[in-house]
Amino acid sequence: MRPLAPDNASMVLRFSPLTMWRRFWWTQAICAAIALVLAALGSRATTAWIYSALIGTASWALIDGGRHGLARWRLARTTTPDDELREGWPGWGWMAPVVALGALGGWWLGSLAGDALTGRRSAPPLDGDWRRLAGLLAVPLVAAVALTWFFYARSRMASIEATVAQTSRQATEAQLKLLESQLEPHMLFNTLANLRALIGVDPPRAQAMLDRLIAYLRATLGASQRPWHPLSAEFERCTDYLALMAIRMGPRLAVRTELPPALRDVPVPTLLLQPLVENAILHGLEPKVDGGRIEIAAACDGDRLRLTVRDTGAGPGAAPTAGTGFGLPQVRERLATLYGDRAVFELHAADDAEGGTVAAVTLPFDTSPP
């Protein structure tokens, strides 16, 4: 038994009423321009506009109708339609006779309709002087070819732009997934390295840290699979991580958080602040004998959200500890991927007597992910 072919005509052909409406008004604009030229050559302006509009509209309807009909016919007979065919373009080889016949039919029908409206007799019989007919048909035929090419070029340009935009979105999503997949193991490895350092000097505290790590991973790894979560969840994850670090650092680590209730539900990228907190511990508090304080705060700055991680540690450039060079560049790359130039990342020395470092992220104040 012969298998049934898929209904490509109904499933694949793309039809946009808005595009059709725009093409109609583009046709009217060209008809108005032709009418102005005819009026400048001596024709009556009103009469020239009536005939030009009627002939142009009839030609456009016949050509566009023929285009869609041919596209549906071809789609029903192919299993591998290209993008042009899906958008209703059967090809110039098929469209050439459609344009010629559409221009001829539109001229004839428009002339008859114009005669009916004006009471004139301008439409010559088809069996009359063919030289005169050819001269009369030259203007609508040239206009039909020009408009068909114009509509075709605009359609192809829009299709190419849509393809480029889709490809760009896919590349952005792939880059973001890569960055996120790198961030989660980075956070885990840093924590395990801290645990390893503690095992050799204080096994009981290392055991407590391991228990805390298990609880922390259970609470956070599932949530980290989501690309976005409320700002309150981001603060909770950072607080959990700092509680884990406090087991190793003891009284050398103090924590302060400030999250206004109005900002708790604002969506932010997951693990956005985590690298900033890790950086504050590694380069700020670890090199300082007395440790210090880490402050995590959120504030609304007009139409923007400002997140800051401040430490009272050694200050920028003062820490001898060498890092991996991963955390802060990763934050910058994620922000650039998600927000482009709408997000700002700053890292600078604190400007008060306590010293230390301030890392600040400024984002568009959105109530939903971009």
pLDDT digits (tens, 9 = 90+) for 133-153: 666 667 777 878 888 888 878
> Does residue 318 lie in a domain region?
yes
Residue 217 vs residue 269, higher pLDDT: 269
**Average of per-residue pLDDT values in the chain:** 79
Let me know whether 26 and 152 are in one domain: yes
Residues 216 and 357 placed together within one structural domain of the fold: yes
Q: What is the pLDDT of residue 338?
A: 83
Answer yes or no: do 128 and 222 share one domain. Answer: no
Select from 269, 257, 243, 285 the least CA-distant residue to 331.
269
The Cα 248–Cα 93 span in angstroms is: 77
Better pLDDT: 189 or 347: 347
Q: Of 167, 188, 220, which closes a domain?
A: 167
Count other C-beta atoms under 10 Å from residue 282's C-beta.
Answer: 19
Specify whether 118 is located in the same domain as 250.
Answer: no
Q: What is the pLDDT of residues 248-264, one digit of tens each?
A: 788 889 999 999 999 99
| 331: pLDDT strictly greater than 50 | yes
Least confident of 3-12, 107-116, 315-324, 352-361: 3-12
SS3 of the chain: the string is CCCCCCCHHHHCCCCCHHHHHHHHHHHHHHHHHHHHHHHHCCCCHHHHHHHHHHHHHHHHHHHHHHHHHHHHHHHCCCCCCCHHHHCCCCCHHHHHHHHHHHHHHHHHHHHHHHHHHHCCCCCCCCCCCHHHHHHHHHHHHHHHHHHHHHHHHHHHHHHHHHHHHHHHHHHHHHHHHHHHHHHHHHHHHHHHHHHHHHHCCCHHHHHHHHHHHHHHHHHHHHHHCCCEEEHHHHHHHHHHHHHHHHHHHHHHEEEEEECCHHHCCCEEECCCCHHHHHHHHHHHHCCCCCCEEEEEEEEEECCEEEEEEEECCCCCCCCCCCCCCCHHHHHHHHHHHHHHHHCEEEEEECCCCCCCEEEEEEEECCCCCC
pLDDT above 60 (res 32):
yes
Q: Are residues 110 and 207 in the same domain?
A: no
Last residue of a domain, one of 167, 187, 213: 167
Do residue 68 and residue 209 come from a single domain?
no
If asked whether residues 116 and 238 sit together in one domain, one would say no
226 and 319, same structural domain?
yes
- Residues 180, 227 contacting (CB under 8 angstroms): yes
CA distance 230 to 233: 5
The winner for highest mean pLDDT among 75-79, 219-223, 290-294 is 290-294
Q: 176 in a domain, yes or no?
A: no
**Amino acid at site 228:** W
Do 233 and 102 share a domain, yes or no?
no
Instruction: Indicate if 42 and 91 belong to the same structural domain.
Output: yes
Is 207 domain-assigned? yes
Closest CA to 298 of 268, 326, 341: 268
Q: Is 247 within a domain?
A: yes
347 assigned to some structural domain? yes
Supply 164's token pair: 């480029």
360 or 286: whose pLDDT is higher? 360
Q: Are residues 142 and 220 in the same domain?
A: no
Distance of alpha carbon 274 from its chain centroid, rounded? Answer: 26
Number of structural domains in the chain = 2
Identify the weakest region by mean pLDDT among 113-117, 199-203, 226-230, 320-324. Answer: 320-324
Q: Is residue 2 part of a domain?
A: no
At 23 the pLDDT is 81
Q: What is the pLDDT, as a whole number, of residue 368?
A: 58
- Report whether pLDDT(99) > 70: yes
Q: Which of 113, 142, 167 is the last residue of a domain?
A: 167
Residue 369, in any domain of the structure: no
Q: What percent of the chain has pLDDT over 70?
A: 79
Q: Is residue 162 over pLDDT 80?
A: no
If you average pLDDT over residues 317-338, what whole number do you get? 70
The CATH number that applies at residue 250 is 3.30.565.10
For residues 104 and 246, membership in a common domain is answered with no
Domain of residue 79 covers 8-167
Q: Is residue 182 part of a domain?
A: no
